[in-house]
Structure 1
Amino acid sequence: MEAIGTGAAANVSSEAAKGIFHQVKRHIRYVIFYQKIVDKFEQKRRTLIAKRTSVQQDVDVTERNGEKIKADVLDWRHRVEKVVTEKEKKVKDLEVKVKTKCFFGLCPNIKSRYQLSRKAEEAAATFDELIKDCQFDRVGYPDVPEPVVHTDFEAFKSREEVFNDIMESLKDATTSMIGVYGMAGVGKTSLVNEVERQLHEVEVKLFDSVVRATVSRIPVIKEIQDQIAYSLGLKLEENSLVVRARRLCERLRKEKNVLIILDDLWKKLDLEEVGIPFGSRHKGCKILLTSRDQNVLSNGMDATKTFAIGDLENDEAWKFFRKMAGDSFESDEELRSTAIKVAEKCARLPLALATVARALRNKPLIFWSDALRQLQRSYLEKSSDDISTEVHSAIELSINHLSSEDL
């Protein structure tokens, strides 16, 4: 029994001795092979700096392409900057000490060599981890542009009810497509712009994304796709409309709740051809349309609800006109009387009122009188049937009253 105990004690002592020997050997290595360890540190440092430069080049190209840098790339770059600066300083400081010898320059500074080797080895290991972490397929991702916020919306009293009804309909789960209609210049686009602005600013978001496209009289499917894709940060580089539609559809379906605003419809638009998933294909997708023709919305697009926007009340039309034209005519009775007649010719249409008022802002009576004569001409020839006579006259008048500086 005593022999067994003695043997066990001997084994323990032997293992302890081996452990001590390895520890001593490792520490001696720091002194003897310090230059080799420092060289390895320098090699890892150069490799890491080369990696950092390469990543920075990719970052520069990505940012020039309008993309955002991924979070893990930003974090890696931050860690590299911090580590390289800290480790380099510690190693350089110790290298200076190593060059200072002991005993009046007769013996190498053993302590400094030891400290330098340990710090260099630790730093090389840290550098190696960062090098291994530098495995980026891409350093960036497409940036979803911030929505353009329209702040020039005029909140007319006569439009409050329609606006509130539209907002409530957007909250209604049973309403998937909403239409807004009214004659040209009545303010349909301005109204949906304000809807979009408020949806972006509310604390509790109704939609993950709000995207929009202008359709126009002759729809160009590719342009409509591009407008929607841009709002989503999606690049459609394919030529095939079918492939583009498929990709756009896949992207839209990733949004849990999305509102698509399609402005200025003249006829039925094939949503599937564009790539808009709707109804059973994506129950989280709602569509807000604007058109001059209610039939396009109700019969062509099968909108769940439609809202009409009429012209302004007399009082709010005059107030709006005065706001746009300035108050220069308030002190001149003849000028004010002429201004009232000019405003009446704008048929209470916001676009016509704003266009004419801005063209005549701070102008003398002679300009106002000339404008009134132009607006009164019954034989005015319109270049297009797309807009009302009042709006057409307003636009023509504003062009005629542009100063030479504006031209």
Structure 2
Amino acid sequence: MNKKMDQLQVTRKEVQDQKDKALVHTEVVPAHAEPWLEDVENLINKRRNIIEATGCFNVKKRYTVGKQAYGILQEIKVIEEDKSKIVFTHEKICLAEVRSTPIGSSTSAPVPMGTQNNFESRVSVFNDALQALQSNNESQKMIALCGMAGVGKTTMMEQLKKAVEDSGTFDWVVKVVIGENNDPKSLQQAIAEYIDECLDETTVDARADRLRKIFEAKSQQGKKKNLVIMDDIWKKVDLTKVGLSPLPDGFKLLFTSRFEDVCHNMRVQVVFRVRVLSDTEATTLFFETVGPFPSDGDDDKRQRTGEAIVKKCGGLPIAIVTIAITLRGKIVKAWEKALRRLERDDLEDLKSVTNSIFKMSYENLEKEEDKAIFLLSGLFPDDFSIRTEDLLRYGWGLSIFKDDETFATTRSDMEICVENLIHANLLTKSDENGCVKMHDLVRAFVLSNFSKVKQASIANRDNISAKCLAENSYERILLKWAGMSGFPSDINYTNLSLLILMDGYELSKFPEDMAKIMKKLEVVSYENMGIPVLPKTFEHSTKLRTLCLRSCSLTGCHQRLGS
């Protein structure tokens, strides 16, 4: 059985790859493909349960396991026969007859990013997920939304969060963002802050025990129901180590992740797949976002060109909305130019499509200040709530607003920049007051495609090589400690103008000789640092214009600040 299952999983991967490629190139996906993939998935889960049962040497149990394994072999045989019905013809999906309603002449406001959940393909997933959250079924305590980057998982999660809050399904709801870094201590701290609790314990295990006691107490208060949302999981989170397992009565977990295997490894009981939009939905979203056409008689040309652009977006909402906003109110030649560019570039996958579209949006920004604030925003970690006040302080220190003479006029100009970036879909509003967010695909585009400003965001020492840090003379660096024991000395600090240090509770002493190298520093920011070292560190930094301290322990530093 194991041998046959391994062979079947190889075949499954081939079919999945063919299906993904067909979606990217807007080709027809065979009707038998999706049901076949789901059958294989169910069989994999059944096989997983059998393997877990073989740990016992009880003869009766082993006999039962043998019968189950034989039954799976028969199912594999049927599935292998059904595979012959899946034929990828590379036939293109016909979009020429697809029309948004109405075409170009609509006077209604453009549809914002979140509204693709109104489409039929999203409504069913949303309703099923909401039902699972509201269910008292113990087999539905851990629920996940899975799908590729930019498909709308977080958007749907936010709408689910609002729905359960409005309906009063849960007495309290906690949401934390994971991203690339799933350091247990940082996650525990985020959860504690959200529920207004203080974790004085220093070890991960002690903090986990403390959180478990808090959760148990909450569940016992009148049998209250609680929901913890963990957004954007990249790798397996040890829930026991964090303090989220075992879950008390009335507790549920909701995850979002682009990696379905991660959710299965975490024993998530119910997984909902958020898929790309259908052709009709993608076209409708595009034209509704574009809004009414100008009265220049080019409606038919715009319609044809728009449909061709939508094909290139592969049903990915973030790509569709971003390019639609770029073309809003533009003459038809601008639409044709955008299409030519998409056709000319080597767009073999959705990542290259989104990069090309984000580049267009960036180049269409009219003011240099807008572009500079956009690049600066890309320095912050994944899914980070970026304080606009920080953009103001850092922008001031880096002299981004060159014509401003006062802090007040700079604040006004910065707010205009942020609003322009939101309208361009390059930034989005955060659920935290005074904050904005950058989608992780946009952030990846910023960090990988710009030589104008060399910047690196380092969440831990694993996500960037020592060789890269030593060879590249970065101008801006954000260091999010995540377990680093000391200040990294292998980074080339020669041309550094901005340095942001975060979450360094256990940071060892800042090397004094390092400051002599960083003579070009204009901005330094400490956030959640144990003891920010300030003595002679910056005496060589004659260009320093901004020094930010937030949530830092200043014990022993007041005299040095005064000096």
In the superposition, the TM-score normalised over structure 2's length comes to: 0.41
Q: 2:346 aligns with which of 366, 370, 379?
A: 379
Partner of residue 196, structure 2: 233
Instruction: Give 1:398's aligned amino acid.
Output: S
Matched, 1:314 2:279: yes
Equivalent-residue separation in structure 2 for 1:238 and 1:296 (angstroms): 29
Q: Is the CA contact 1:246–1:275 (under 8 Å) kept in the aligned structure 2? A: yes
Matched, 1:274 2:238: no
Q: Is the CA contact 2:182–2:235 (under 8 Å) kept in the aligned structure 1? A: no
Instruction: Give 2:309's aligned amino acid.
Output: V
In the superposition, the TM-score normalised over structure 1's length comes to: 0.56
Structure 1 residues 156 and 272, CA gap change in structure 2 (3 angstroms): same
Q: 2:171 aligns with which of 204, 208, 228?
A: 208
Residue 305 (structure 1) shift:
1.2
Residue 179 (structure 1) shift:
1.6
Partner of residue 259, structure 2: 293
Q: How does 1:26-41 map to 2 (within 5 A)?
A: none
Residue 283 (structure 1) shift:
2.7
Partner of residue 186, structure 2: 223
More helix as a share of residues:
1
Equivalent-residue separation in structure 2 for 1:233 and 1:359 (angstroms): 42
Q: 1:357 aligns with which of 297, 302, 324?
A: 324
Q: 1:245 aligns with which of 208, 220, 226?
A: 208
Q: Tell me, what secondary structure is at the counterpart of 2:313?
A: coil
Equivalent-residue separation in structure 1 for 2:353 and 2:213 (angstroms): 44
Partner of residue 178, structure 1: 143
Residue 238 (structure 1) shift:
5.4
Q: Tell me, what secondary structure is at the counterpart of 2:354?
A: helix
Residue 381 (structure 1) shift:
9.6
Q: Is the CA contact 2:113–2:321 (under 8 Å) kept in the aligned structure 1? A: no
Instruction: Give 1:278's aligned amino acid.
Output: P
Q: Tell me, what secondary structure is at the counterpart of 1:343?
A: helix
Q: How does 1:322-341 map to 2 (within 5 A)?
A: 322-328=287-293, 331-332=297-298, 333-341=300-308
Q: Tell me, what secondary structure is at the counterpart of 2:218?
A: coil
Partner of residue 258, structure 1: 226
Instruction: Give 1:357's aligned amino acid.
Output: A
Partner of residue 420, structure 2: none
Long gaps (5+) in structure 1: 1-149
CA RMSD of aligned residues (A): 2.6
Long gaps (5+) in structure 2: 1-111, 220-224, 372-563
Identity %: 33
Partner of residue 404, structure 1: 367
Instruction: Give 1:271's aligned amino acid.
Output: L
Q: Tell me, what secondary structure is at the counterpart of 2:271?
A: strand
Q: Is the CA contact 2:279–2:315 (under 8 Å) kept in the aligned structure 1? A: yes
Equivalent-residue separation in structure 2 for 1:397 and 1:236 (angstroms): 46
Q: Tell me, what secondary structure is at the counterpart of 2:275?
A: coil
Q: Tell me, what secondary structure is at the counterpart of 1:374?
A: helix
Question: Which of these two proteins has the greater Rg computed from alpha carbons?
Answer: 1
1:329-388 Cα offsets, whole Å, 9 max, x none, are 685232332222222211111111112112222223343233223322443599xxxx73
Q: Is the CA contact 1:346–1:394 (under 8 Å) kept in the aligned structure 2? A: no
1:151-182 Cα offsets, whole Å, 9 max, x none, are 94442211111111111112142211112111
1:83-142 Cα offsets, whole Å, 9 max, x none, are xxxxxxxxxxxxxxxxxxxxxxxxxxxxxxxxxxxxxxxxxxxxxxxxxxxxxxxxxxxx
Matched, 1:166 2:133: no
Equivalent-residue separation in structure 2 for 1:151 and 1:321 (angstroms): 11
Instruction: Give 1:313's aligned amino acid.
Output: S
Q: Is the CA contact 1:208–1:255 (under 8 Å) kept in the aligned structure 2? A: no
Count of equivalent residues: 249
Q: Is the CA contact 1:182–1:293 (under 8 Å) kept in the aligned structure 2? A: yes
Structure 1 residues 379 and 255, CA gap change in structure 2 (3 angstroms): same
Equivalent-residue separation in structure 2 for 1:341 and 1:153 (angstroms): 22
